[in-house]
Structure 1
Amino acid sequence: MGHHTFDADRADKLEDAQRRYRFLSAEELLWALSPDGDETVADLGSGTGFYTDDIAPAVDHVYAVDIQAAMHDYYREKGVPENVDLVTSGIVGLPLDTDSLDAAVSTMTYHEFASEQALSELSRVLASQGTLVIADWAASGNGNHGPPVDERFSAAEVTNVLHQHGFDIEFQAERPETFLLTGRTK
């Protein structure tokens, strides 16, 4: 699908912890990621680094991947942790080595990059038994938050396409406005 990206001029909204954690808490994200401290993780569509900042203390290294340089500028102003590298790139054509990631997370951004090419690229950069965590706006939502409903996916749709790209789904939950799933490469 791959619709619009979040407007970088509104980046301050991405730092609203009360609103963001209402849909995905730091604890829930870290539970889904299940880090043991030595992982290399990519935060796909990292934006201002809101969730990257939750992940960074729990892992060895994080690539904060965002297609908008303005989001990285915002993150630099805010302060980037030492173990985080900013990568300005879309998901297709990631400048990362094959099998170089232990995990990747997408927090409310999957709908922006969902495509066969992006999923093939994630399969390439994730190592064997690599973890993929996706939390995104559910197609069953009412559209009062997040993108329009017609730009969203259901957890079942994402599960099906991930299976086609060699992922085993380990957890899936669809909530009133969002879904969360974790998959692992074979």
Structure 2
Amino acid sequence: MGHHTFDPSKAAKLEDPESRYRFISREGLLWALNLTGNENVADLGSGTGFYTDVVAPHAEHIYGVDIQEAMHDFYRDKGVPENVELLASGIEDLPFASDHLDDAVSTMTYHEFASKEALSELARVLTPGGRLVIGDWSANGTGEAGPPLEERFSVSEAVSALRAAGFDVEFQAERPETFLVVGVCSE
């Protein structure tokens, strides 16, 4: 399942608020993160920075992490907020010290990196009590939008994987095409 990346030649498609907010709203994302304004946050698979731009005004520092430099190029052309730092990296080997991040968010990218190694790495770099917010395409969806169904995970699969990596699941919801999970890094 999963582990593909988004085609950078279609990056402009990721900037459409009507289609993006249909699946994960700005309000829902900020509610799940519950930021105070003092956090170091990583946007995992940040792409064009669409959701990074939503989070940036509410965090001290945000890292836009994407494995594709072409996505960072698109974001740079669009304009990157001052408190955003772009990093080219996979999730399995993040360039952070242990306990460096207060929170991390993955919007529609979990299916691209979901693995024991990636979740273990996130548990390493998040502070105890740090939140991992995952909004992604559901395996129980119709497949009319997003990646093919065979590349998706169900909310129960995501919750099981998070728990196995040492996260306490604070919230989970399945929607018609997507799911939302909030995991808290245990000590």
What is the TM-score with the length of structure 1 in the denominator?
0.99
Instruction: For residue 50 of structure 2, give the secondary structure of its aligned residue in structure 1.
Output: coil
Unaligned runs of 5+ residues in structure 1 are: none
Structure 2 residue aligned with 1:131: 131
Structure 2 residue aligned with 1:142: 142
Structure 2 residue aligned with 1:78: 78
Structure 1 residue aligned with 2:46: 46
State the Cα distance separating 1:2 from its structure 2 match: 4.0
Q: What is the rounded CA distance, in whole Å, between the counterparts of 2:140 and 2:93 in structure 1? A: 31
Structure 1 residue aligned with 2:99: 99
Any conservation in 2 of the 1:92–1:121 contact (CA below 8 Å)? yes
Structure 1 residue aligned with 2:113: 113
Structure 2 residue aligned with 1:56: 56
Q: What is the rounded CA distance, in whole Å, between the counterparts of 2:181 and 2:115 in structure 1? A: 17
Any conservation in 1 of the 2:2–2:152 contact (CA below 8 Å)? no
Q: What is the rounded CA distance, in whole Å, between the counterparts of 1:3 and 1:71 in structure 2? A: 17
Q: What is the rounded CA distance, in whole Å, between the counterparts of 1:75 and 1:141 in structure 2? A: 29
Q: What is the rounded CA distance, in whole Å, between the counterparts of 1:2 and 1:63 in structure 2? A: 23
Instruction: For residue 51 of structure 1, give the secondary structure of its aligned residue in structure 2.
Output: helix
Q: What is the rounded CA distance, in whole Å, between the counterparts of 1:25 and 1:12 in structure 2? A: 19
Structure 2 residue aligned with 1:153: 153
Q: What is the rounded CA distance, in whole Å, between the counterparts of 1:96 and 1:77 in structure 2? A: 26
State the Cα distance separating 1:4 from its structure 2 match: 1.2
Q: How many residues align?
A: 186
* 1:66-103 superposed Cα distances (whole Å, 9 cap, x missing partner): 00000000000000000000000110111111100000
Query: Percent identity, aligned pairs only?
Result: 65
Q: What is the rounded CA distance, in whole Å, between the counterparts of 1:56 and 1:22 in structure 2? A: 20
* 1:16-60 superposed Cα distances (whole Å, 9 cap, x missing partner): 110000000111000000000100000000000000000000010
Q: What is the rounded CA distance, in whole Å, between the counterparts of 2:106 and 2:23 in structure 1? A: 13
Structure 2 residue aligned with 1:21: 21
Any conservation in 2 of the 1:111–1:151 contact (CA below 8 Å)? yes
Any conservation in 1 of the 2:42–2:62 contact (CA below 8 Å)? yes
Any conservation in 2 of the 1:2–1:115 contact (CA below 8 Å)? no
Structure 1 residue aligned with 2:166: 166
What does 1:1-20 align with in structure 2 at a 5 Å threshold? 1-20=1-20
Structure 2 residue aligned with 1:88: 88
Structure 2 residue aligned with 1:30: 30
Instruction: For residue 94 of structure 2, give the secondary structure of its aligned residue in structure 1.
Output: coil
Instruction: For residue 168 of structure 2, give the secondary structure of its aligned residue in structure 1.
Output: strand
Q: What is the rounded CA distance, in whole Å, between the counterparts of 2:123 and 2:56 in structure 1? A: 22
Q: What is the rounded CA distance, in whole Å, between the counterparts of 1:66 and 1:148 in structure 2? A: 21
Cα RMSD of the aligned pairs, angstroms, is 0.6
State the Cα distance separating 1:3 from its structure 2 match: 2.2
Instruction: For residue 9 of structure 1, give the secondary structure of its aligned residue in structure 2.
Output: helix
